[in-house]
């Protein structure tokens, strides 16, 4: 199903560092502020989206890919980060880890997530990745349903906690080699 709201999805570069910091912090706060204290959230974001961390990651395109999702007016609506050849927890398989994929709340429901995820799969395939994997909060049933509709398969759970809660994560995989059939991977 084609989206009525097309996105431009671009590779992020060092010139986009401040945009990544802003959109990263904005989207994470919008979606996850209830699972952290104010101080915990500030600490998490200052580590995850620090200038130093982003600079290192952007300087290693053989290991990471950052994508920016912009609407047709040029406004950044979201972003994604992939890690190449990353070992999946609980299993001895490696593939592209979709470490981050976030959209502003105002950008949800417009088909942007499917567009961004489709480009992510294309890019991972061009990097000869056999599988795409991610982890999602066990309590985030809407995101799990979204990934399942795309063809991801749940493989198990791993621990995750914030300064407020022990939440846990659901690990999900997608077989990039059978993408045309949208077949979920097995977890062996």
How high is the pLDDT of residue 101?
Answer: 96
Q: What pLDDT digit, counting tens, does each position of 115-163 carry?
A: 999 999 999 999 999 999 999 999 999 999 999 999 999 999 999 999 9
Alpha-carbon distance 169 to 116, whole Å? 22
Q: Is the pLDDT of residue 182 over 80?
A: no
Strands (E) across the chain are located at 8-11, 64-70, 76-87, 94-103, 131-137, 153-158, 169-175
Instruction: Please identify, in words, the CATH class of the domain defined by 8-181.
Output: alpha beta
Q: What is the mean pLDDT of residues 17-24?
A: 96
Query: Angle at CA 48, nearest 5°, toward 42 and 53?
Result: 130
This prediction has a pTM of: 0.90
Domain boundaries, the chain: 8-181
């Amino acid at each position: 199903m084609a989206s009525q709201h097309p996105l431009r999805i671009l590779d992020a570069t060092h010139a986009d560092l401040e945009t990544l910091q802003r959109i990263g912090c904005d989207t994470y706060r919008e979606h996850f502020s209830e699972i952290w204290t104010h101080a915990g959230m500030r600490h998490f974001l200052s580590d995850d989206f620090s200038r130093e961390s982003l600079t290192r990651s952007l300087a290693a395109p053989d290991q990471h890919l950052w994508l920016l999702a912009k609407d047709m007016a040029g406004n950044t609506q979201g972003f994604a980060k992939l890690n190449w050849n990353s070992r999946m927890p609980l299993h001895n398989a490696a593939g592209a880890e979709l470490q981050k994929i976030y959209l502003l709340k105002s950008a949800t429901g417009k088909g942007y997530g499917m567009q961004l995820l489709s480009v992510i799969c294309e890019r991972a395939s061009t990097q000869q990745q056999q599988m795409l994997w991610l982890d999602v909060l066990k309590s985030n049933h809407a995101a799990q349903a979204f990934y399942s509709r795309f063809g991801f398969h749940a493989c198990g759970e791993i621990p995750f906690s914030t300064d407020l809660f022990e939440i846990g994560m659901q690990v999900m995989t997608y077989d990039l080699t059978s993408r045309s059939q949208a077949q979920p991977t097995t977890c062996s």
